[in-house]
């Protein structure tokens, strides 16, 4: 069981009603793709995008927040946690991203309904730390896995909403050429995935 599976399964066990969450980051790669790279299983957290359409209901859901805090307390010794919950306006995404979210069906859960952004939006979120090596490895995997073209990426760049802030804008500008280079190289390679051991 991956770290992400441990975290979401623990949260699910503490809930007493249905809760819908959109996950991103390495947890979304680990749980939302077939044959993900082994290294994503080592991520210690699960990141969540709080949708504007769900904010009021989730804010009022004390049982969810109590469960989320209990997850962190329960898994603290293992260094696993769920503390990064960001509003959608704090994350790099296309304007209509929510209409294209995809269900995450692994692991099977009772109350927790997990989704991830479309791959093109996940690629955008991976640009928030600039051309960070680990994030760009994840971008390369997603481009090759879903055969994302340079044109699709360029279209996403035109539609992306970048939160205000010099650091975020700089990160976006640093990542853009790297992401485009990865898309061009993947197309030349025939979108062949690198030889990695899957989870």
SS3 sequence, 75-103?
Answer: CHHHCCECCCEEEHHHCCEECCHHHHCEE
Q: Is the dihedral of CA 29, 33, 38, 41 positive or negative?
A: positive
Q: How far apart are CA 134 and CA 150, in angstroms?
A: 20
Q: How far apart are CA 21 and CA 114, in angstroms?
A: 5
CB atoms within 10 A of CB 35: 12
Q: In the 8-state DSSP scheme, what is residue 57?
A: H
Query: Global pTM?
Result: 0.93
Q: What is the pLDDT of residue 198?
A: 42
Q: What is the pLDDT of residue 196?
A: 54
Q: What is the pLDDT of residue 197?
A: 43
Average confidence (pLDDT) per 10 residues, the chain, 199 residues: 94 97 96 92 93 92 96 95 93 97 96 98 97 96 97 97 94 97 96 64
Tokens matching residue 13: 């066990």
Q: How far apart are CA 91 and CA 115, in angstroms?
A: 16
């Amino acid at each position: 069981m991956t770290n992400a599976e441990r975290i979401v399964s623990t949260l699910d066990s503490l809930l007493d009603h249905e809760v819908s969450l959109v996950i991103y980051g390495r947890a979304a790669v680990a749980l939302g793709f077939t044959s993900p790279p082994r290294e994503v299983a080592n991520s210690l957290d699960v990141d969540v995008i709080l949708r504007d359409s769900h904010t009021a209901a989730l804010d009022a859901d004390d049982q969810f927040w109590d469960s989320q805090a209990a997850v962190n307390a329960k898994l603290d010794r293992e260094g696993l946690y769920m503390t990064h919950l960001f509003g959608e306006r704090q994350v790099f995404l296309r304007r209509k991203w929510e209409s294209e979210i995809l269900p995450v069906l692994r692991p099977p859960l009772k109350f927790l309904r997990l989704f991830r952004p479309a791959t093109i939006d996940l690629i955008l979120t991976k640009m928030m730390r600039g051309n960070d090596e680990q994030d760009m490895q994840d971008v390369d995997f997603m481009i090759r896995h879903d055969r994302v073209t340079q044109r699709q990426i360029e279209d996403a760049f035109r539609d992306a909403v970048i939160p205000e802030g010099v650091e975020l804008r700089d990160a976006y500008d640093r990542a853009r050429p790297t992401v485009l280079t990865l898309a061009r190289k993947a197309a030349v390679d025939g979108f062949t995935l690198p030889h990695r051991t899957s989870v």
